């Protein structure tokens, strides 16, 4: 138990300069601190594995810092379930998820990429020439699986305005009762001024912000992850024209077979999760 407790402390709490502890380092600390007379790293690993403790591993994490996290997140999750302020959405209500991929570089490899062959993968040269960068702005119709996107030299209010125009000037959105735009707090659509600005552009458009540092709530990020894997990894484009063509061509190809994402996480699930985390924090404080 003392060895497991040792493994569950941060190295700096132990006065050590490491960022994380290996099993051998835990064994050395157990001996130096008089917990055991001798112990091997293999024994430490065996003991820790019983409780799935792996102090040599870590996960990058973003902790909620928005004081209204639950309220803002619940509004977005309710929209995904077809609800707004407790009332079902009408047939002529639409929900769009939007964001931007910023500064996508066109990287021309100094040696041409080679195709795969028998017992050999394709080869992509490590060195490349930067041939410029552009931003890709997209909006995803959550319930209809429709995709809209365009490329711009950079992000900002006017590029976002261009995306909104692209969507809102066509049916069924221009004559819709309400069009909800789910977006983060990026500089193109940040804060209350952006909510007012969108409603001035189009009277039936409502901007709904996700909480700060909660991109996982924005469904367009699912599409962006597919785009990253299928088009931009590895990044090998002759110039910006080719990069823009590939982004737009993949958008059309993806939409031709797209279906709405099967989003299971609801506002009720969020409340249960936050209550569980609060209980754990209270128990930790009490201990």
List the chain domain ranges. Answer: 2-49, 69-256
How confident is the prediction along the chain (287 residues), in pLDDT tens digits per residue?
999 999 999 999 999 999 999 999 999 999 999 999 999 999 999 999 999 999 999 998 887 788 899 999 999 999 999 999 999 999 999 999 999 999 999 999 999 999 999 999 999 999 999 999 999 999 999 999 999 999 999 999 999 999 999 999 999 999 999 999 999 999 999 999 999 999 999 999 999 999 998 989 999 999 999 999 999 999 999 999 999 999 999 999 999 999 999 999 999 999 999 999 888 888 877 76
Question: Do 279 and 96 contact (CB within 8 A), yes or no?
Answer: no
Per-residue confidence (pLDDT) for residue 154, from 0 to 100: 95
Residues 6 or more apart whose Cβ sits within 8 Å of residue 171? none
Lookup: tokens for 37 = 């007379």
Specify the pLDDT at position 86.
94
Question: What kind of architecture, by CATH, is found in domain 69-256?
Answer: 2-Layer Sandwich (3.30)
Q: Is 50 exposed, middle or buried (0-12, 13-18, 19+ CB in 10 A)?
A: exposed
Look up the pTM and report it: 0.86
Report pLDDT for 118.
95
Per-residue confidence (pLDDT) for residue 287, from 0 to 100: 67
């Amino acid at each position: 138990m003392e060895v497991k407790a040792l493994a569950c402390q941060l190295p700096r709490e132990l006065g050590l300069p490491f960022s994380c502890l290996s099993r051998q380092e835990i064994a050395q600390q157990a001996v130096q601190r008089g917990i055991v007379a001798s112990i091997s790293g293999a024994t430490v690993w065996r003991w820790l594995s019983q409780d799935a403790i792996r102090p040599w591993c870590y996960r990058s994490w973003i902790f909620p810092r928005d004081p209204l996290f639950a309220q803002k997140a619940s509004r977005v999750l309710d929209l995904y379930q077809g609800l707004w302020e407790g009332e079902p959405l009408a047939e002529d209500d639409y929900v769009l998820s939007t964001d931007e991929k910023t500064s996508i570089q066109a990287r021309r490899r100094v040696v041409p990429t080679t195709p795969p062959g028998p017992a050999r993968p394709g080869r992509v040269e490590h060195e490349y020439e930067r041939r410029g960068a552009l931003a890709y702005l997209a909006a995803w119709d959550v319930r209809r699986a429709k995709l809209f996107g365009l490329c711009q030299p950079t992000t900002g209010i006017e590029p976002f305005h261009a995306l909104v125009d692209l969507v809102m000037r066509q049916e069924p959105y221009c004559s819709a009762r309400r069009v909800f735009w789910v977006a983060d707090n990026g500089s193109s659509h940040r804060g209350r001024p952006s909510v007012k600005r969108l409603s001035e552009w189009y009277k039936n458009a409502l901007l709904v912000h996700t909480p700060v540092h909660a991109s996982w709530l924005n469904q367009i990020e699912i599409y962006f992850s597919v785009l990253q894997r299928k088009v931009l990894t590895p990044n090998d484009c002759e110039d910006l024209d080719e990069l823009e063509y590939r982004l737009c061509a993949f958008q059309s190809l993806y939409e031709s077979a797209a279906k709405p994402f099967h989003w299971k996480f609801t506002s009720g699930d969020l409340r249960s999760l936050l209550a569980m985390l609060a209980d754990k924090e209270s128990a930790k404080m009490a201990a």
